[in-house]
Structure 1
Amino acid sequence: MGLKPYFSFLVFLLPAMVFLESNAQFNDISDIASVINIGQEVIRVVSASWQKIDSIHGTEEAHPTSFFRGSISQTQRMVLSRMADVSRRTTSLENTVKTSLNDIGRLLMEIPAKLRWELKLGTLATAIRQVMTAEESMSTYSKALDSTSKGGVALEVSTLEDFATSTVSHSSHSIRSLLENIHSLVVPKHNSLGGEGIFKLLLATMQDGGSGLCSIHQSPQQLIYNLYNLVTLAEIKGYAMMQFSWMLLKLYNKGNFTLEAELMRERVEARMDEKIQAVRTAMTRASRELWVCDPAHHEENETFVQLTNVLQGHIENEVDLNPKGTCRENCAYYQYARVHDCFKGLFCKKQPKCNGRIFDCRFIDSDASVCLSKGGSTHRKYDWIEYENGRTLGRKGSCERGSTKVDSWWRWLFWHCSYCLCLCDEVGTKSDRYFSLHPSLARGVEDVTTDSNRAVTGLRFVKVARVIHLQIQDGVVLPGGIINSSTLQWRPIKPFNVNDPKIRRDVDYHIVTWEQRAIDLDDLTAPEGSVLTGVQLRRIGSHLNLEILTTPFNFTSGRLAQRASSEWISNDNTPAAVTEPRKEIKMSSPDVPTKCPLRSTVISQHDQYIRFTHSDIDRDVAQTTVPFLDAQPVVPDPPSLLVGAGIFYKGKRNCGGFIAPKVITYDYSKHLHLKDL
């Protein structure tokens, strides 16, 4: 008899818990209304449960002492089994939520102590964890009840009664108080000095240049949204525990609690509405751009890729820079030349020849000691050069092959045959300088015969067979803008050999040379109602330029339109434009990017460009092509629909920096509203 009211409550609560598990994948950035819908569903289920309990309680006498010791029917055993299953599902859901709690921990490490205190993120995280811990206790009791139904040791009534009483009490550590504290951090009662909500303060922190937030792997808007999800989920869990506790206390004949339950329902609805208003305000102002910080440790082909031997520092005597073998000019005369000979097999015989074009020669000093890089190195010719006048190029250290003396000489007392430091632009097997011009498309867009309903979810640069590709990750789009995280996949690169006669320059690949070494820096966004389904690099004049493919989609159904409806978006502006020409970013004395002591910050803006060039002569003997390309995946975590992409430049003063991709996440704020119950 005494078990019936409790099991009736469980039967009504079960649909809500199943709804939670089947519709809320909180490691996905899902339909922004789903968390709200879950809360509203729980509220409706709880209301129905109260009605059921009131009807049963009015006709049956509750026996608290036998509440968990009476005989259990087969139907009741089935319900207990379902309850245990719900408990397992809830535990899985909580583990997912803890991932979002970890994001708060990472965020705390990235912001200054003063802002950390103002944001009170630590206080918020602690309160949320306490709510989750309390729910773990409730889950433990659910499992114990299942054990009781199978003949195990009975759970004492006093245990449940104490849990229920402490949950709804007015003490500072009760669930009731924790929910109030969490809400006050998000929506303060008084917006006086220091009384701003966490969403607003977090937005201000990010707008003030929180570049370290790039380690969170979420756009600022996405970060605010996921924090909202976490807070709202804690509210829902706490509300369910409180209502459950009042029901238990009523079954224990400790009171009626109907009014308390109704007041709490009204309070929770009001708090949910206030949170929605706060988060919408912050989200509409927050950036949706996501890029990735420099890693703690650089590793080629993992965290970065680079062009090699493009405009590389090269020592050559002027006697070999003209077909007549004369020394009648000076180094500065040879701004464009070629190596014609190797006079008497001198230093030119000891170093790799420049088989390409020579640019921008200069005279530094007559005599020098040169440290040739170790044999087999394809990236460098020299480790360092020390001139007789004391000037040193590069970082002088030990020399594995031993330094080589290089001395200029006089010819007939009239002409000085000077050794010049020039730039060598040599296309060949030792120079990786190619970009693929092939489009990277989501599956289903690339293959029109496949109805996979996939959209782009991430980008990265990769180098395959000496060619740099812009690779995409894609995933299946579900109703409500959900990305099915189990379907995420990097689309395979289709490698090709630039020497293949079927592969055409300027059609299949772009080659970086002295004349065509610029790459455009743009932020491209899809039209309203469309999402990102592809990217490609193309040529505009001598520039490498980004283009994105966008496809219309239905947010409610999650269905993407047919390929014929897709549209390529680009910025065709050039430096030669009459009005507002594209502007160049110039590096100043750039060192090798991986040797820069400080983490990069964003330098470029939309509608600019940068040229690949050589590293600084004094710092690196102009041996390295800069900037590098950041090869780290730019993927929102949790995954998100994307509506745009870009290429930008990040670096520091006197640092070669990195060209990197960025993505623009979908704006979920426009779907955020509280429906009437």
Structure 2
Amino acid sequence: MRFINWVLPLLLATLVALQQPTLTDALIEDVLDIIHVVKEVTSGVLKAWDIVQSSPLAANIDFPLMREKQKKVLQRLKEVSKQIDNTEDQHAQYVALAIESVTSFMHNNAPIMAKMNDISDTINRISSRYQQMQKYEAYKDKLEMSTLITFAEWTVSPNAHSVHHLMDRLHITLLGNEDRSSNTTSTNLLQQLATAYEVSTDQICNTMQSAQQFIYSLYADIALTELKAYTMMEFSWMMLRVYGKGNYTQEAEIMRSEYEKRTERTLKILKDVMLRADRIVYRCDPTKHVRGVTYDEVTRLLQGYIENEVDLNKEETCRETCDFYQSTRSEGCFKDLYCSRQPKCSGRLYNCRFVDSDMWVCPSPQNSTRRYEFIEYENGRVLGQRGKCTRGTTKVDSWWRYLLWHCSYCFCLCDEEGLKSDRFFNLRDTIADVKRNRVVTGLRFVKQNRIFHLQIQEGELLPRGIVNQSTLEWKPVEKYNVFDRHVKNGVDYHKLSYEKRTIDLDDVDTDDNSFVVTGVRFRVVGTHLNLEAYYSEFDFRTGQLIRPEYNSYWKSNDNTDVSGARREKLRLSNADVSTRTIAHSIPLSRHNQYIDFTNTGLDKDAAQSTVPFMDIQDVVSNPPVPLAGIGIYYKGRNGYGGFLGPKIITYDFMPHVQVPKNRF
């Protein structure tokens, strides 16, 4: 999780600033990983000041000595700028994504875009001067004394174009005037952007960052820019000291004091914004739905099926109505009528109803999981989408028996287990390789051998929450079959049926920041599929899992009983095929709900598909981070079947944003 390598440069620069006391080791150990980079940067600054401490005043200039000290100072500058540049390069793509996202979802908000343009202009000015300083370092043996003096004086000059002024301008634009800080909502740009980001559902999928990560990414540009400005000012005072322009001890102390005040205020506000920011990452709809690539389906769980009443009872009578048969079976094929021309439903039939006596049926291709493309009744009603019928339509007519009983064709729902019915969910544990210090960093649904697995992405956890990106991999799912020897329903997998087709919609999270997710699984509670997360303890400073074989536990939302009475049901009624909507799906579920897999609507799809569909896109954050939680959610549009998908809850780095307690 490299994005933390740039967090809090201002704080950590403050902690080790020149000739000042630092915070306790315990506090330093608990902050984010940027401490390593900033320690090296500030160490370089300290060494550079050692070089110039003995510089003579203007009256006693030793030109060769000054040139030698100039070279040494610029060499230290090279070391410092290299650290800053490396950090900037590592996180440039995440910063770019965040800024591009702001431009996308805030383009109609003129005041905020004006602020963002102002910030961008200020950053560009500071970065331009910083690049100029780096060029001076590259030509340190050939530079004239006046060139460096002019640059240094411009940098520290108390005018509207100096770096000092630009730093103040950047701070005020981002956070507002300090005397108005009580009104944080109206003046705090970070909070405004975080709030707008959370309500703009598409943006989280464009950046693949939680709102908390998004705020980090925006802050990265600001933090690195201020670190550049700080470095320029320190080295400017040094160069002026080298060339005997003055002592500048008091000036440097004033600059550091102001720097500390800005830092403390910034970090307090940043911490507050992070505290409120959401940490959920999920996937939006792709530009184009592709079965087996972006989504997959539970198939033939409950499917529309035409059957004559005479075949719905063993006596072969037609004395009842279709509505009488709410749970039955197909008992035969009377006189080899239409029943002999379609694949028989060998399972149970539910919720039979009468639509009309006579119809034209368009059968689906033999390799399809559908039975019918559409059904057109004589009264003009059409079930499904009427179109070209490649296999040709078949006329199906009800009939009278003995002029007393009408043998009607009923429209029922078939619950049939078979080779075309993919209705299984893996119940086996999926655990990261904790022996190699791997943690879960992402999730996705995968259908393997007709079984849906919740697959995990794992990666090596490094100190202070970093994930080693070179180790990221999707852990292979277990390739078993439901008919394998010793594989059992209810133990290895869960088989959906009319009575058992419910899945809980939950966020499984932890408030204990010393644990991260290292595994996932489904269990069955009553008739509900219920998600569980496996948590393991770790040391934030070292990144090491702490005896995961002992310090780990499973957690779930146990608010489930057989009837589901303690949860709210999210209902799908007469839904169309999930992929037919032209509008992108939006999240519609919330924690502690549940949903049933069911058939699509009669009129819209002839009840041929099972919804919701399963979103099988990767759900990962960019950059990858350890997880504090996971979840299952539903997204869709009114009138359509929608999708079920996993979501991840990123680790909460807010407690590791430490505001200095000691003043300089």
Fold shared, TM-score > 0.5 on shorter chain: yes
1:626 aligns with 2:618: no
1:333 aligns with 2:300: no
RMSD: 3.3
**Do the aligned partners of residues 155 and 51 (structure 1) sit closer, same or farther apart at CA in structure 2, a change above 3 Å counting?**
closer
1:412 counterpart (382, 389, 402): 402
How far apart, in 1, do the equivalents of 2:571 and 2:224 lie?
Answer: 48
Alignment of 1:93 onto 2:83: no
Shift of 1:468: 0.6
| 1:184 aligns to 2:168 (yes or no) | no
- Which residue matches 1:290? 281
1:486 to 470, 473, 481: 470
- 2:531 corresponding residue in structure 1: 546
How far has the Cα of 1:157 moved from its partner? 5.8
Query: How far apart are 1:512 and its partner, in Å?
Result: 0.7
In the alignment, the residues of structure 2 paired with residue 285 and residue 114 of structure 1 have an alpha-carbon distance, to the nearest angstrom, of 24
Q: Is the 2:44–2:77 contact (alpha carbons within 8 Å) kept by the matching residues of 1?
A: no
- Does residue 61 in structure 1 map to residue 67 in structure 2? no
The answer to whether the 8 A contact 2:106-2:112 is kept is no
2: CA distance, partners of 1:344 / 1:620: 29
1: CA distance, partners of 2:563 / 2:610: 28
SS for the counterpart of 2:478 is coil
Deviation digits for residues 420-447 of structure 1 (CA, Å, limit 9, x no counterpart): 2211111111111110001111102xxx
Identity score, percent: 42
Q: Which amino acid letter does the alignment assign opposite residue 286 of structure 1?
A: A
More displaced stretch, 160-169 vs 223-232:
160-169
Supply the AA of the counterpart residue of 1:52: I
For residues 467-478 of structure 1, what are the structure 2 equivalents within 5 Å?
Answer: 467-478=451-462
2:623 is aligned to 638
What is aligned with 1:8? Answer: none
Q: Match for residue 3 of structure 1?
A: none
Deviation at 1:479, TM superposition (A): 2.3
Of 623, 626, 643, which aligns to 1:658? 643
**Structure 1 spans left out of the alignment, 5+ residues:** 1-12, 17-29, 149-153, 445-449
More deviation, 467-476/195-204: 195-204
Distance 1:466 1:620, change over 3 A: same
1:240 corresponds in structure 2 to 231
How far apart in 1 are the matches of 2:402 and 2:65?
Answer: 118
Letter in 1 for 2:529: L
Contact 2:56–2:244 at 8 Å: present in 1 too?
Answer: no
CA positional deviation for 1:261? 3.0
Aligned equivalents of 1:342, 1:577: Cα separation in 2: 37
Query: C-alpha offsets along residues 255-293 of structure 1, whole Å, 9 cap, x if unaligned?
Result: 655444332222222111111110111112222222222
Q: How does 1:109-508 map to 2 (within 5 A)?
A: 109-115=103-109, 117-118=111-112, 120-145=115-140, 154=142, 160=148, 163-169=151-157, 174-189=162-177, 190-191=179-180, 195-206=186-197, 209-215=199-205, 216-252=207-243, 257-377=248-368, 379-444=369-434, 450=435, 452-508=436-492
SS in 1 for 2:620: coil
Indicate conservation of the 8 Å contact 1:453/1:559, yes or no: yes
Query: 1: CA distance between counterparts of 2:597 and 2:120?
Result: 45
2:517 is matched with 532
Q: TM-score, normalised by structure 2?
A: 0.86
Shift of residue 164 of structure 1? 4.2
> Is 1:517 the equivalent of 2:501?
yes
Contact 1:232–1:272 at 8 Å: present in 2 too? no
For residues 184-207 of structure 1, what are the alpha-carbon distances to aligned partners after superposition, in whole Å with 9 as ceiling and x for unaligned? 133211536984111221233356
Name the SS of the counterpart of 1:93 in structure 2: helix
Query: Which residue of 556, 567, 570 maps to 2:556?
Result: 570
What SS is found at the alignment partner of 1:211?
coil
Match of 1:27 in 2: none
Please state how far the C-alpha of 1:294 moved relative to its aligned partner: 2.0
- Aligned partners of 1:584 and 1:610 also within 8 Å: yes
Distance 1:618 1:140 in 2: 71
Q: Distance in 2 between matches of 1:381 and 1:172?
A: 76
The alignment partner of 2:550 has SS state of: helix
Show the 5 A alignment for 1:68-107. 90-107=84-101
Aligned residue for 1:151? none
Is the 2:517–2:534 Cα contact (8 Å) retained in structure 1? yes
**How far is the alpha carbon of 1:515 from its aligned partner?**
0.7
The separation in 1 between residues aligned to 2:582 and 2:31, in whole angstroms, is 40
Counterpart CA distance in 1 for 2:184 and 2:427 is 54
Q: Is the 8 A contact 1:538 1:545 kept in 2?
A: yes
Which residue is equivalent to 1:22?
none
Q: Is the 8 A contact 1:46 1:243 kept in 2?
A: yes
Contact 2:611 2:642 survives alignment (8 Å) = yes
- Write the distance in 1 (CA, Å) between the matches of 2:227 and 2:194: 25
Equivalenced residue count is 629
Letter in 2 for 1:651: G
The one of 649, 654, 658 aligned to 2:634: 649
SS in 1 for 2:374: strand
User: Displacement of 1:498 after TM fit?
Assistant: 0.8
- 2:25 counterpart residue number: none
The match for 1:50 is 49
Question: CA 1:195–1:518 in 2, change beyond 3 Å: closer, same or farther?
Answer: closer
Quick check: 265-274 or 314-323, which moved more?
A: 314-323
Corresponding residue number in structure 1 for 2:3: none
Task: State the Cα distance separating 1:322 from its structure 2 match.
Answer: 2.2
Farther off after superposition, 47-56 or 382-391: 47-56
Relative to structure 1, the CA distance from residue 673 to residue 340 in structure 2 (aligned partners, 3 Å threshold; closer, same or farther) is same
Q: 1:398 Cα shift?
A: 2.1
| Mapped partners of 2:433, 2:625: distance in 1 | 17
Once the two structures are TM-superposed, the CA of residue 166 in structure 1 deviates from its matched residue by 4.8
Q: Distance in 2 between matches of 1:83 and 1:545?
A: 57
TM-score using structure 1 length: 0.84
Deviations 1:568-588 (A, max 9, x none): 11222224589x712211113
Separation (CA, whole Å) in 1 of partners of 2:162 and 2:383: 68
State the match for 2:586 in structure 1: 601
| Cα distance, 1:31 vs structure 2 | 7.2
Cα deviation for residue 391 of structure 1 reads: 1.6
SS at structure 1 position matched to 2:614? strand
Cα deviation code 1:30-66 (max 9, x no counterpart): 9753446755764565355335313134598364999
Is the contact between residue 442 and residue 456 of structure 1 (CA under 8 Å) also seen in structure 2?
A: yes
Following superposition, the deviation at residue 553 of structure 1 comes to 1.9
Deviant stretches of 4+, over 6 Å: 82-86
| AA partner of residue 293 (structure 2) | E
